[in-house]
Structure 1
Amino acid sequence: MQSPKARPAWPVFQALQGVTMAELGGDLIAGATLAAIAIPEQIATAQLGGLPPQLGFFAFIVAGLGFAAFGSSRRLSAGADSTITPIFAGSLAGMASVGSAHYLALAAALALLVGLILVLAGAFKMDWIADLLSRPVITGFLAGISIHIVISQAPAILGLSEGSGDVYHRLARLWAEAGGVNPAAVAIGLGVFATILLGERVSARIPSALAALVAATLACGALGADRLGVRLLGAVPAGVPAPALPAIVFDDLPRLFGLAVLIALVVMMQTAVTSRSFAGEDGDPDIGRDYVGLGVANALSGLAGAFPVNASPPRTAAVAESGGRSQVAGLTAVLAVLLLAAFGTKVLAAIPVAALGGVLLFVAQRIFHVGELRELWGRTRAEFGLALLTMALIAALPIQTGVAIGVFLSLAHGVFTVTRAQPIPFERMPGSTVWWPASPHATGETETGVLVTGFQAPLSFLNAHDFRRGLLSAIEEGRGRLRLVVLEASSVVEIDFTASAALIEVIGKARAAGMDFAVARLESVRARAAFDRLGIAEALGADHIFPSVEQAIRTLARD
């Protein structure tokens, strides 16, 4: 019986395809929940970036529309995000005065550049880029970002004047003004933090951040913000996004490009993690298309005069847990925020700034994954050290520098794991024809006059020297005793030119020492093609490549 013909994918709004009336109610409820969670987060994140609060709304509105139109994930929520905001805010502050027209234009231009990079990454199927950051580096990166958030929001929560500059200037100013801490602001900030934390632990569907902001606003109104000495958010202009190119000069673009690449890399990583984590029954997500969706979202955010946006794992989780099944939920939240931005901003003026600091304090603790650090400490001290070093670099250096070094550390760690590979002896499992790496947990058998060895990594210039040295040492030790050397190659998935030269040399040395040489279980299609392309098969002989170790031994060592 033939399966029904699949419907062609829609060129836009693919994540709305197949929505049924039965699912619509759940999507609408999830959208209302998402709006209640997003509203305080978008205001707070804009404040974190030194940007007007209404730009947080604009970013969420256009990002939601852009991703719903061009992304593939049915649940992912895009918008202003506290992971990337400290990165670009610190960098842009070195190029223009925070809050100035030039600063706002730079933020918008940065969003356009990030959008362009993401669209290109999606169009060229570069989803592998998301895997360049290892889990320990990601854990350390997020922990470092959380430290920056806490330091940047400390003045708001403590009721002190707003700080600026790098982390050291901010800490010095906090120390100098420590005697002026406002107890009322502290109570509001920590009260909002505790309320959100409690609500999150009860259920992610509870809009505890919105409830906490409302409660803090009402309390300040009843007790008198002036009497308490508490700063308020102030007037928020009403309006809706209007497309326009940011007013920057050409000389700004080279200074923004490197930052845009870093931001795009972080967005790719977080988007891939979010899409894969909340794919549900939809199967493997199309990460490339999600990059395009976030690229369009960023481009629209730049045209709206806002700033770079990102996928949000917590908001996406709220959509999933609230019963959301499609981007109808995201579009519902977009409509709610659009109405607030257009007609309801007057109600925002009385929000205490300390309350917004409490929201961001909660975000900071949520991305500081203590459990992950504890697990790394218990399982692998070296990778725990890598996470700790990344956290320290992000916290101590300008964030963009720390991120760049973190990426380098992740790549260096990956290279290190490949270079650690060494040739290892194989043994036959008793009563079988299976050859397995020698292990202290099982006693295996060997074949007289035969050395079976394996190499459990791609063969490349990174490890070719150790591969060559290990096998030549084994050949020298077996001179006069060995008749056959078999390379078990099931884990060799790729071979480059440098490694091919090393392998050809080993084959020649073995034969010069009176030994035959064979390769068994060369399963990788790429590695087998490299054998032909790089001359290994010619040097070895096509009749010396076998599907199993046992067949190689039967053919060459038992004649």
Structure 2
Amino acid sequence: MTESTLTKTSWPVFRSLASFRPSDLPGDLIAGLTLAAIAIPEQMATARLGGFSPQIGFFAFIAGSLGFAMLGGNRFLSCGADSTITPIFAGGLALLATSGSPDYQALAIALALLVGVILVVGSLFRLGWIANLLSTPVTVGFLAGISVHILVSQMPGVLGLPSPKGPTLDKIAALAQHLGESNLYTLIIGFGVLAVVAGSEKISARIPGALIGLIAATAAVILGHLESKGVSVVGVVPGTLPTPSLPELAPERWVKLVPLAFLIAIVVMVQTAATTRSFPSDPDKPADVDRDFLGAGAGSILAGLFGAFPVNASPPRTGIVSETGGRTQISGLFAATIVLALLAFGATLLQHVPEAALGGVLLFVALRIIRLGQIVTIYRQSFGEFLLIVATAAAIIVLPIEQGVAVGIALSLLHGIWSTTRARLVQFDRVPDTTIWWPANPHMPGERSPDVAVVGLQAPLSFLNASNFRSDVLHVIRTSTPKPRLLVLEASGILEIDFTAAQILLDLIKQCGEDGVTVAMARLESTRAQEAFARFGIYDVLPKGCIFHSVDQAIHALAGKTQPAS
């Protein structure tokens, strides 16, 4: 039994602790302490972003940390309340209940349970490929749109203005009209905390700038009696501990949550996969994305049972654990323990925290998730994909946010389909004085054999491009002079063949045979393509002995044996 097999067998739960050694404990504790210092203000701010009281954010962090440590695989990943998904589910829930009401919280709990179940099922059925549904341009546009939502939602608190109602663009217009009515103290606190967090991040990600800013802002409120000057504070935070419970909702209300749950689950899958691949437990082994879906799903289920909302992997917090010496999920569990102790014994310390300070933390989060560098690079290198960024961001900003996310996913899929349909036939030339056949290029000299055409398709052969493939092959045969007697399909780029494409390929081989053109296959390397050839009977239709390991081998074997076309 190999070491990896032994690990999987011996550690069905808490697998991330399998490699723990006593010498790892100091590093884990330091990383956990740093993580708690980062997470406490962040979880409070994210809960506020979703319309919940601060302790609900703490419940989400405790549940996410415990659930992932139990069933996840990554040693560093931090799971908890996350500003990427919070605006999405908050927007969806606001259509069903008044934000902050008991009904709103019950729906959030139910949503967490549904998201958790979807992630667990996705893990069991090994659906890690779903994480690839969002292309990079769509992901960048998605984050830009989410960033605008966060900025717009937090600016009223930072400016000391009432929160405007209506669509995002209407909110922006309303804020612009009332800028002159801003509360100066609130404004200084909000942007002061933003400056502290940004400055600390620039110096070192290990500095808990958000906690420092929160403490300084709270001290200023207390010493300057700023509550009497219009500065809103968090108020009394109940020192309650999470207790398991289930929401009381009618079945039809659960059903209404399912589409939103699927959207949230897809976003969690994408972000969890990106996080675990960026911070692998073992750089020499591929990340176990499916196992980490299980951990994130367990975190959301526990969050629902604890009375909180869905949780997600956090790339910044995970990076903190990795950079500060964390070695196992003990760091996350230690941070969760600190947060639990704060709830039990220190909740009263939070009542004078100004809401503008939490807004300042979220302003930093919003600005950080805008990937300006990537946007500029994509604009310079692929203007068409830059338009995907713009379209995705616009959909998320203009439409109800959950609809915008759905549009973003649809745009990503359509872009993938469009890219596949663009795959056209490529003709190959022989590199002079070699046996190498290479795609024809005006900048590289090449040679062709008389009466032989070598072509290839650098994409899966599917219903999306099979008709164009057949048309292109026939065009090459009919327009080449002299007419080729041997057609070699260089198949190294064909990774898969579906039923529709197989039928078209069968007809094409038969048609070529009737026209006196022998068809041969070279470099059919993909095992899936080989299985498709056998499954669809393509091997049986090809002339005997027409499968080769190289183009040169095919030409040497067949070029002299083919008969001139009649």
Which residue of the partner structure matches residue 296 of structure 1? Answer: 298
Q: CA deviation at 1:505?
A: 2.3
Which residue of the partner structure matches residue 523 of structure 1? Answer: 525
Which residue of the partner structure matches residue 424 of structure 2? Answer: 422
Provide the rounded CA distance (Å) in 2 between the counterparts of 1:88 and 1:267.
Answer: 12
Q: CA deviation at 1:82?
A: 0.4
Letter in 2 for 1:92: L
Distance 1:463 1:347, change over 3 A: same
Provide the rounded CA distance (Å) in 1 between the counterparts of 2:352 and 2:4.
Answer: 57
Secondary structure at the counterpart of residue 520 of structure 2: strand
Which residue of the partner structure matches residue 206 of structure 1? Answer: 207
Letter in 2 for 1:44: A
Which residue of the partner structure matches residue 97 of structure 1? Answer: 98
Aligned runs of 1:450-461 on 2, under 5 Å? 450-461=452-463
Which residue of the partner structure matches residue 197 of structure 1? Answer: 198
Residue 20 (structure 2) pairs with residue 12 (structure 1): no
CA contact 2:37–2:211 (8 Å) conserved in 1: yes
Letter in 1 for 2:417: V
Provide the rounded CA distance (Å) in 2 between the counterparts of 1:179 and 1:366.
Answer: 27
Which residue of the partner structure matches residue 83 of structure 1? Answer: 84
**433, 436, 439: which one aligns with 2:435:** 433
Secondary structure at the counterpart of residue 427 of structure 2: strand
**383, 390, 393: which one aligns with 2:392:** 390
Secondary structure at the counterpart of residue 321 of structure 2: helix
CA contact 2:167–2:398 (8 Å) conserved in 1: no
- Greater mean alpha carbon deviation, residues 527-536 or residues 77-86: 527-536
Q: CA deviation at 1:555?
A: 1.4
Q: CA deviation at 1:364?
A: 0.0
Distance 1:218 1:3, change over 3 A: closer
Provide the rounded CA distance (Å) in 2 between the counterparts of 1:139 and 1:9.
Answer: 40
Q: CA deviation at 1:6?
A: 4.3
Q: CA deviation at 1:324?
A: 0.6
Letter in 2 for 1:505: D
Which residue of the partner structure matches residue 500 of structure 1? Answer: 502
**343, 358, 361: which one aligns with 1:359:** 361
Provide the rounded CA distance (Å) in 1 between the counterparts of 2:163 and 2:495.
Answer: 55
Which residue of the partner structure matches residue 546 of structure 2? Answer: 544
Secondary structure at the counterpart of residue 68 of structure 1: helix
Secondary structure at the counterpart of residue 43 of structure 1: helix
Residue 235 (structure 2) pairs with residue 234 (structure 1): yes
Question: Deviations 1:334-377 (Å, cap 9, x if unpaired)?
Answer: 00000001111101010111111000000001111111101111
Q: CA deviation at 1:382?
A: 0.8
Provide the rounded CA distance (Å) in 1 between the counterparts of 2:41 and 2:87.
Answer: 17
Distance 1:526 1:189, change over 3 A: same
Which residue of the partner structure matches residue 555 of structure 1? Answer: 557
Residue 217 (structure 2) pairs with residue 216 (structure 1): yes
Provide the rounded CA distance (Å) in 2 between the counterparts of 1:456 and 1:429.
Answer: 19
Which residue of the partner structure matches residue 487 of structure 1? Answer: 489
Letter in 2 for 1:533: R
Provide the rounded CA distance (Å) in 2 between the counterparts of 1:224 and 1:249.
Answer: 47
Q: CA deviation at 1:434?
A: 1.1
CA contact 1:234–1:350 (8 Å) conserved in 2: yes
Secondary structure at the counterpart of residue 303 of structure 2: helix
Distance 1:415 1:9, change over 3 A: farther
Letter in 1 for 2:440: A
Q: Cα RMSD over matched residues? A: 1.5
Secondary structure at the counterpart of residue 545 of structure 2: helix
Q: CA deviation at 1:239?
A: 1.3
Letter in 2 for 1:459: L
Which residue of the partner structure matches residue 272 of structure 2? Answer: 271
Provide the rounded CA distance (Å) in 2 between the counterparts of 1:294 and 1:65.
Answer: 10
Letter in 2 for 1:442: M
CA contact 1:166–1:398 (8 Å) conserved in 2: yes
CA contact 1:90–1:166 (8 Å) conserved in 2: no
Q: CA deviation at 1:48?
A: 0.3
Which residue of the partner structure matches residue 163 of structure 2? Answer: 162
CA contact 2:281–2:287 (8 Å) conserved in 1: no
Letter in 2 for 1:75: F
Provide the rounded CA distance (Å) in 1 between the counterparts of 2:5 and 2:306.
Answer: 41
- Greater mean alpha carbon deviation, residues 523-532 or residues 329-338: 523-532
CA contact 1:479–1:513 (8 Å) conserved in 2: no
Distance 1:58 1:359, change over 3 A: same
Distance 1:125 1:487, change over 3 A: same
Question: Deviations 1:125-164 (Å, cap 9, x if unpaired)?
Answer: 1100001110100000000000000000010010012344
Secondary structure at the counterpart of residue 282 of structure 2: helix
Distance 1:424 1:474, change over 3 A: same
Distance 1:421 1:438, change over 3 A: same
- Greater mean alpha carbon deviation, residues 195-204 or residues 2-11: 2-11
Aligned runs of 1:161-180 on 2, under 5 Å? 161-180=162-181
Provide the rounded CA distance (Å) in 2 between the counterparts of 1:5 and 1:327.
Answer: 20
Which residue of the partner structure matches residue 347 of structure 1? Answer: 349
Aligned length: 558
CA contact 2:487–2:517 (8 Å) conserved in 1: yes
Q: TM-score, normalised by structure 1?
A: 0.97
Which residue of the partner structure matches residue 331 of structure 1? Answer: 333
Q: CA deviation at 1:510?
A: 2.0
Q: CA deviation at 1:228?
A: 3.1
Provide the rounded CA distance (Å) in 2 between the counterparts of 1:340 and 1:349.
Answer: 13
Q: CA deviation at 1:176?
A: 4.6
Secondary structure at the counterpart of residue 242 of structure 2: coil
- Greater mean alpha carbon deviation, residues 66-75 or residues 12-21: 12-21
Letter in 2 for 1:349: Q
CA contact 1:472–1:509 (8 Å) conserved in 2: no
Aligned runs of 1:124-135 on 2, under 5 Å? 124-135=125-136
Provide the rounded CA distance (Å) in 1 between the counterparts of 2:4 and 2:44.
Answer: 47
Provide the rounded CA distance (Å) in 2 between the counterparts of 1:168 and 1:22.
Answer: 54
Provide the rounded CA distance (Å) in 2 between the counterparts of 1:226 and 1:328.
Answer: 40
Distance 1:480 1:173, change over 3 A: closer
Q: CA deviation at 1:168?
A: 3.7
Q: CA deviation at 1:517?
A: 1.4
CA contact 1:48–1:85 (8 Å) conserved in 2: yes
Provide the rounded CA distance (Å) in 2 between the counterparts of 1:60 and 1:395.
Answer: 28
Question: Deviations 1:412-441 (Å, cap 9, x if unpaired)?
Answer: 111111111111110111121111111123
Provide the rounded CA distance (Å) in 1 between the counterparts of 2:177 and 2:402.
Answer: 27
CA contact 1:15–1:326 (8 Å) conserved in 2: yes
Letter in 1 for 2:72: G
Distance 1:91 1:5, change over 3 A: closer
Question: Deviations 1:508-556 (Å, cap 9, x if unpaired)?
Answer: 2222222211111111111112112212222213411111111111111
Unaligned runs of 5+ in 2: 562-566
Residue 373 (structure 2) pairs with residue 374 (structure 1): no
Q: TM-score, normalised by structure 2?
A: 0.96
CA contact 1:132–1:410 (8 Å) conserved in 2: yes
Secondary structure at the counterpart of residue 543 of structure 1: coil
Aligned runs of 1:314-325 on 2, under 5 Å? 314-325=316-327
Distance 1:228 1:284, change over 3 A: same
Distance 1:262 1:542, change over 3 A: farther
Secondary structure at the counterpart of residue 406 of structure 2: helix
Distance 1:164 1:335, change over 3 A: farther
Provide the rounded CA distance (Å) in 1 between the counterparts of 2:256 and 2:63.
Answer: 26
Letter in 2 for 1:257: V
Provide the rounded CA distance (Å) in 1 between the counterparts of 2:206 and 2:5.
Answer: 38
Distance 1:432 1:173, change over 3 A: same
Provide the rounded CA distance (Å) in 1 between the counterparts of 2:168 and 2:26.
Answer: 47
Which residue of the partner structure matches residue 52 of structure 1? Answer: 53
Distance 1:398 1:202, change over 3 A: same
